[in-house]
Copies of this chain bind each other. A is one copy, B any other.
Amino acid sequence: MSAVRSVSIKDVARRAGVAISTASLALNGGARVAPETLRRIQDAAMELNYVGNRMARRLKRGRSGVLGVTIFPGFNECHFELAFLIQEEARKHGYATRFFFEDLTRQNDLVQFFGEVNGQIDGLVSYSGPALEQYRQLATMGIPCVFQDSVEAKVDFVAIDFRAGARLATKYLLERGFRKIATFYTGKEVRGELPQERLQGYIDAMTAAGLEYRNLIVEFDGNPFVHEDLYELGRRILQTAPEAVFIRSDFAALTLLRVICDHGLRPGKDIAVVGFDNIKMGRYSNPSLTTIDYDQQWRARKMVEILLARIDGAVLPVQHCVSKCRLVKRESA
């Protein structure tokens, strides 16, 4: 079964009675082509249903016209939403998007990933994973990177102001009169967020209120995208006997609601909960989640902007963007 030989620019040229190069010229903007010839070539292309062979074009141009996006396979709504928005944004600029469901936690995976990526994409949006250093290799391959999370000073990123968000959430709980506010932090950072950014925001607020918090912080080393681990985490948080909990993702918050119920308590009444991310389900959980929201669309736009600038070889200083956070009040606090 041989592949269907599709119509090439050669066919168009022949039909229009013109050289291949002229056809190419005409089809790419048609700057220096006589109007009459241009029309003839366009007609020919139309009639033959010419679409052009991307592989060949890219081979020649040395650019793929594709942006890569790594998606952490935690099946968390936020990951996908951002990916989708990036696709939309990239499309506006004539770029296609290619997604990689990759758990880039081991160096091995990263090596394989680089191989897979090679020559296929012009730029990459990624969460950083633990092996940021490795990404330097991509730069070597001439592939610009923008990170979804704040990582370190030397690379471009469009992050979320986790610290301010956490401060906001904690402050709100304080205003509502709670004093024993628990939270947790993860030692190993799965998504590469600067260690303890959210924790720091919590500490900011607690300190400003002159409150003791040492015994209210639970250390967690499970997978923050796995319900089982989060359930266990919830139990340990409840052992601190808190009046309220600031928890670093809605995903975790939803699980926490369940833990609280299982302990015979009423979330939102006996224990207040504030999450982070404003996932859609949070509006319809019981109780609905008070949470911290940020602008994913803005982030997507920024990321694509930066990436395209880098691809075009613009000389820019390192770009650090941070999305503002805002409190969304609902029933859980």
Binding site for B on A (CB under 8 A): 1, 3-4, 6, 51, 53-56, 58-59, 62-64, 73, 75, 77, 80-81, 83-84, 87, 96, 98-99, 101, 115-116, 118-120, 140-142, 227, 231, 254-255, 257-258, 261, 280-281, 283-286, 288, 313
A231-B284, A286-B257, A313-B1 in contact; A59/B55 too (CB < 8 A)?
yes
Closest chain B CB from A48 CB (angstroms): 14
18 A-B contacts, Cβ less than 8 Å apart?
Answer: A4-B140, A4-B141, A6-B119, A53-B119, A54-B118, A55-B55, A73-B84, A75-B84, A80-B101, A87-B101, A96-B116, A98-B99, A99-B101, A227-B283, A227-B284, A258-B288, A281-B281, A285-B285
Contact A254 B284 (CB under 8 A): yes
Closest chain B CB from A231 CB (angstroms): 7
**Residues of the B chain whose Cβ atoms lie less than 8 Å from the Cβ of A255:** 284
**Residues of the B chain whose Cβ atoms lie less than 8 Å from the Cβ of A141:** 4, 6
**Residues of the B chain whose Cβ atoms lie less than 8 Å from the Cβ of A75:** 77, 80-81, 84, 280
Contact B119 A54 (CB under 8 A): yes
Of B80, B280, B286, the contact of A286 (CB 8 Å cutoff): B286
